[in-house]
Amino acid sequence: MELTTCARPYAKAAFQYALDQNALENWSQMLKNGAAVVQNEKVNVLLGVPSLTADQKASAFIEVCGDSLNESGRNFVRTLAENKRITLLPEIAELFETLKAEQEKSVDVEVLSAFPLKDEQLAKLAEKLRGRLSSEVKMVNAIDPELIGGVVIRAGDLVIDSSVKARLEKLAHAMRS
């Protein structure tokens, strides 16, 4: 079974609880921290030890997380442990962030360019994307010199590739056909 499918009900439950408690940002941080802890090699080995009970795994995990978990976060980890789902925390955190962004009507947008874009260029691009996506956009400009020129815009499932590299590849493909 796909990890995302298994993680979805937990992410939705955590999101709904956080929304009801007006604690989206707090839960976002707890889940990100938990996801980072799960990805630690030593912790991952510990979680895989079959002789440990769910309660022992949860207690050890909570101890490693320290003060980054509040009481409801610790209870969430215990529930995950009981259902053998602690290792799904990275997927749960990712799904939670998607739900949070939808709730906040914001989209993270990555703009790849061959060189750094000016603030006014990013602002103009953000304005156009706001209209197209009907959401608030959070822009991040990353540099990829291989693009030669132009930009590649990634916003969720949407990818707009107007790079010189992509145009050259299309032209080369058309000439081979």
Q: Please state the pTM of the whole predicted model.
A: 0.62
> What is the reported pLDDT for 3?
82
Half-sphere exposure of residue 119: CA atoms within 13 angstroms, side-chain side: 0
Q: Which range has the worst mean pLDDT, 26-30, 102-106, 164-168?
A: 102-106
Residue spans per domain, the chain: 3-101, 106-176
In tens, the pLDDT along 43-86 reads: 989 999 999 999 999 999 999 999 999 999 999 999 999 999 99
What are residue 161's DSSP bridge partners? 152
Cβ atoms within 10 Å, residue 92:
29
Are the beta carbons of 131 and 142 closer than 8 angstroms? no
Helix runs in 85-154, H state only: 89-104, 119-133
Q: Strands across the sheet with 158-161, in order?
A: 136-143, 106-113, 151-155, 158-161
> What is the reported pLDDT for 156?
74
> Which 3 state secondary structure label does DSSP give 139?
strand
Phi, psi of 65 (to 5 degrees): -70, -25
> What is the reported pLDDT for 44?
87
- Would you identify the CATH topology of the domain 106-176? Glutaredoxin (3.40.30)
Mean of pLDDT values over 151-162:
88
Q: Which range has the worst mean pLDDT, 11-25, 43-57, 124-138?
A: 124-138
> Which 3 state secondary structure label does DSSP give 85?
coil
Show the beta-strand stretches assigned E in the chain.
Answer: 106-113, 136-143, 151-155, 158-161
User: Which residues have a Cβ under 8 Å from the Cβ of 89 and sit 6 or more positions away?
Assistant: 31, 34, 35, 37, 38, 80
End-to-end CA distance of the chain: 40
In tens, the pLDDT along 3-16 reads: 888 999 999 999 99
> What CA–CA distance (Å, rounded) separates 157 from 27?
25
- Give the β-pairing of 151-155 and 158-161: antiparallel
∠134-137-139 over CA atoms, to 5°?
150
> Which 3 state secondary structure label does DSSP give 77?
helix
Q: pLDDT-derived band of residue 26, with 50, 70 and 90 as boundaries?
A: very high
CATH code of 3-101, in short, is 1.10.520.20
Q: pLDDT-derived band of residue 138, with 50, 70 and 90 as boundaries?
A: confident
> What is the reported pLDDT for 1?
53
Q: Which range has the worst mean pLDDT, 84-88, 130-134, 162-166?
A: 130-134
% of the chain with per-residue pLDDT over 70:
99
